[in-house]
Amino acid sequence: MHQSRKECTLTLATAAPLVVVALGGNAITREGQSGTYSEMLANCQEMAASVCALREAGWRVVITHGNGPQVGNLAIQQHAGSPEVPGQPLFALGAMTQGLIGHLLQMALLSTHHQQLGPVVGVVTHVIVDRQDEAFDRPSKPIGPFYSLHEAQARSDLTGHPIVEDSGRGYRITVPSPRPQAIVEGDAISRLSKDGYLVVAGGGGGIPLVERDGTLAGIEAVVDKDRSATLLATYLEADALLLVTGVECVLADFGKPTEREIHLADAAQMREYARQGQFPTGSMGPKVEAALDFIDASDGYAVITDASSMASALGKGETPGTRIVREIRGLPRQGAPA
């Protein structure tokens, strides 16, 4: 008997495992690109094919994404347009880029893979942060384009934001990045996912809010999307957290003669690698930290890989990517020191 599309969607929703996929803002505006609409849409269309493969493999999917390059570019536009057009606060720019990137991802998903994906919906998402978070005294989140040192210093003098050297690719402006503590729309996202929707939520780490005199108000910050993805995946009781980056898997002893790929590791091994300084703050460190936080708070596992390997990295047997689990029993740790 033929199943209607709605019946298929409900079957998927009630029986399928759930994965939260965290896409980086640098994957939406890639190195060397200026961030035009057509560039970003093309990049999103490439990622949409991998998301479609996840759905075809039987996964429910919630997508979240970063916005570092985009929110920084928008801040430059805001400054250039002032005073003729008043500039908006940083948290409002986060809302704007969340809407734009959510639109791009939805367009890519709907226009390219509509029939396979079922219904797709975007949720403008807010997160609660602590106004006393030490991040407000130590801005560390890079945003916007990469500059030479001279250009970055000039930009810093203009905006008052400090700069940081970012992974050998140049210098960028930094802003506060407090830890997210709660997701305001968490229940709505959960219900939509359980009803079979592919949900795009938590973009740019979420719009940061603090409590003031019994009400909520925006605050100048950009929340790290990997931390928000961890919080969202934990809240949704996801089976897996998929952290998408620019490389297929995590490497141990990077740049040394003993360099090797890590395909399977438990939490204790990854913590030991982190203790050794294997995962720098400006590159793989935040993703490994997010993966470990998710494993500590849930019964799921985490995978770190590139966009083209997303679906296969969640498969069974030998897979690409780096899979991190709570504990490995009776199996050698791949990539572990001999």
Task: Give, for all 338 residues of the chain, the pLDDT tens digit.
Answer: 333 444 444 445 556 899 999 998 888 998 888 899 999 999 999 899 899 999 988 999 999 999 988 998 998 898 889 889 998 999 999 999 999 999 999 999 988 766 667 889 999 999 999 999 999 999 988 888 888 999 999 988 888 889 998 877 889 989 999 999 999 999 999 999 999 999 999 999 999 999 988 899 999 999 999 999 999 999 999 999 999 998 899 999 988 999 999 999 999 999 999 999 999 876 788 899 999 999 999 999 999 999 889 989 998 877 899 999 999 875 444 444 33
Sign for the CA dihedral angle at 247, 239, 60, 98 comes to negative
Pick the CATH number of 5-138+176-232 from 3.40.1160.10, 3.40.50.9100, 1.10.357.10, 3.40.50.720: 3.40.1160.10
**142: nearest Cα among 91, 115, 176:** 176
Q: Do 222 and 143 touch, CB atoms closer than 8 A?
A: yes
**47: nearest Cα among 110, 120, 111, 109:** 109
Q: Do 335 and 261 touch, CB atoms closer than 8 A?
A: yes
b/e code 146-170 from CB counts within 10 Å (16+ = b): bbeeeebeebbeeeebebbebbeeb
**108: nearest Cα among 188, 68, 100:** 100
CATH 3.40.1160.10 residue spans of the chain: 5-138+176-232, 239-338
Catalytic residues: 25-26, 141, 225, 287
Q: Please determine, looking at this structure, whether the domain spanning 239-338 carries the CATH number 3.40.1160.10.
A: yes
**Radius of gyration, alpha carbons of the chain:** 20
What is the per-residue pLDDT for 330? Answer: 55
Which helix (H) or strand (E) covers residue 7, if one does? helix 5-15
Which residue is listed with tokens 């003993």? 258
What is the per-residue pLDDT for 225? Answer: 94
